[in-house]
Chains A and B, each alone.
Chain A
Amino acid sequence: MAIRVSRRLVGAAMTGATYSAALIAILPLAAIFGMLVAKGAGSIDWAFFTRSSVPLGETGGGFAHAIVGTLIIVGLACAIGVPVGVGIGIYLAEFGAGWLGWVVRYVADILNGTPSIVIGIFAWTWLVKPMGTFSALAGGAALSVILVPIVARTTEEMVRLVPNSLREAALALGYPRWRTSLQIVGRTAGAGIVTGVLVAMARVAGETAPLLFTALGNQFFSTRLTGPMAALPLQVYVYAVGPYEEWRRQAWAGALVLILLVLSLGIAARWVTRGKRARG
């Protein structure tokens, strides 16, 4: 009986410890979100989504230019980075057993850990300087450099999960290697690849440093890809360090919208893979 009691005590203590650890992990996120809602929700109105910045001295205005700018720049980053990243991921999983695969994997991991400001300087040197102007295009390219290694490694993981028996079945039907990889293996890993892309999008949507040197930011609404363009994190930064109460209010609202955007991408990623886990 004594053993039973002590076991039950240890069991309860360990369960309690794991629950507290989980709570501590959730706490910062809850605190950030709570503070953003408290400080920013009040400033979110229709005009926030439909109007751009207004000149100093006027009140009102919104973040429409920054929201559209972020969508365009992240869209550009995906247009450049997703095909490259998915291609690299399939290569690594299907054909990357040799030394070249090892090198590519190593480079992707290094790139994944590279501070994003370094990528911003890199993009400035190779794109902004030769083009002679800050541009949304350079911003998208800089973000794609961050996106590619994330997409490549998640794609590789997802493609590796596809059972070898499916590859053999396709090859036995007379599929060439490349069509087996793209049409059978790639398609089977599709949901997982989409999840990886959404997670990578969420990551780059919040990046500020690479955009400072590339897209630069813009007080006006612009959809011109070859000129400076506003983006949510840039606009939040500019308004947050500004001297005006009105700006800081809007910066909180902008931060809230950015978090909601990232959060909805994460939820979309979950939704794409719903019910796929049990299948194995």
Chain B
Amino acid sequence: MSAAPPPAPPRLVTEGLAAWYGSVPGIRDVSLAFEANRVTALIGPSGCGKSTMLRCLNRMHELVPGTRVAGRVLLDGNDIYAPDVSPIAVRRTVGMVFQKPTPFPMMSVAENVAAGLRVGPPISRSERDGIVERALRRAALWDEVKDRLGDSPLALSGGQQQRLCVARTIAPEPEVILLDEPTASLDPLGSARIEELVHELKREFTVVIVTHNLQQAARVSDVTAFFYLGALIEVGPTAQLFTAPTQPQTEAYITGRFG
């Protein structure tokens, strides 16, 4: 069992969060706290709402026509769904990496990393180059691409493309990073490198990862939350949830009886 987290106020808190696709509920009444400098894993069978949950945390859910969100999401105490808060500002503070690598094909490797900076305050060329290098180093990609910064990102392997997307996400210095099954399309080696990266990322960021892979959740996360049929069933320190779950559904899922 891992040590209890230090008593710092959580960075991100959801209160009674619910989301719908049309009239179909995606998640129901989820209250969950995400600690700073911790990795929280969201697990559960397909369609349980874990990705919907993630997409509510940076207001991406509302981009799908006909969707609706209720409840509150507090980032450092401020509701990101308050009427005067712009979703664009939220997404600059809460970055996201997707299931498949999504490099912009018409931009070079360096331009991809700097893509998020273009919608921020203006910076000089040398500042930008410095941020690009630092982001690539933190994404453990610099040594592999430092001579190919002007090349097309499509020449990189799938795993390298995904780390490029991580670099692009962290370049504008968000506070929270959401990872939506980031290794689902990668081979085992590429997955292992992303998992190492997640360990590094939590030094600076609050990390939330959705994963289908229970071993991965066990390896990378400090806290795990189990979702089933749109509801949060159980949340706890990862080691405890995997060894001594309190809910019967959690136990059934982690022992492979469904999902």
Where the two chains meet, the residues of A that have a C-beta atom closer than 8 Å to any C-beta of B are: 97, 165-166, 168-176, 179, 183-184, 187-188, 190, 279
Contact = CB atoms under 8 A, between A and B. Distances in A.
Contact of B104 (A171, A174, A184): A184
Given A166-B104, A179-B119, A279-B154, A173 B92 contact: yes
Nearest to A184: B104
B95 A173 contact: yes
Contact of A188 (B88, B91, B104): B104
Contacts, number: 60
B88 A174 contact: yes
Contacts of B120: 174
B116 interface: yes
A188 B102 CA distance: 12
Contacts of A168: 60, 63, 98, 102
A226 B249 CA distance: 80
Contact of A169 (B65, B92, B102, B119): B102
Contacts of B91: 171-174
B51 interface: no
B134 to A, nearest CB: 17
Contact of A172 (B58, B100, B107): B58
Nearest to B90: A174
B132 to A, nearest CB: 14
B197 interface: no
A92 B173 CA distance: 35
Contacts of B104: 166, 169-170, 184, 187-188
B161 to A, nearest CB: 11
Contacts of A169: 98, 102, 104, 165
Nearest to A97: B65
A172 B106 contact: no
Nearest to A165: B102
A60 to B, nearest CB: 50
Nearest to A175: B119
Contact of B88 (A165, A176, A187, A279): A176
Shortest beta-carbon contacts, A-B, top 3: A174-B92, A169-B102, A173-B116
B103 to A, nearest CB: 8
B58 A279 contact: no
B89 interface: yes
B169 A166 contact: no
Contacts of B95: 172-173
Nearest to B100: A165
B172 A173 contact: yes
B68 to A, nearest CB: 18
A279 B152 CA distance: 13
A149 B55 CA distance: 38
B47 interface: no
A10 B154 CA distance: 44
Given A176-B88, A188-B106, A279-B154, A170 B172 contact: no
A278 to B, nearest CB: 11
A192 to B, nearest CB: 11
B115 interface: yes
Given A166-B102, A173-B92, 10 more contacts: A166-B104, A169-B102, A169-B165, A172-B96, A173-B95, A173-B115, A173-B169, A174-B119, A184-B104, A187-B107
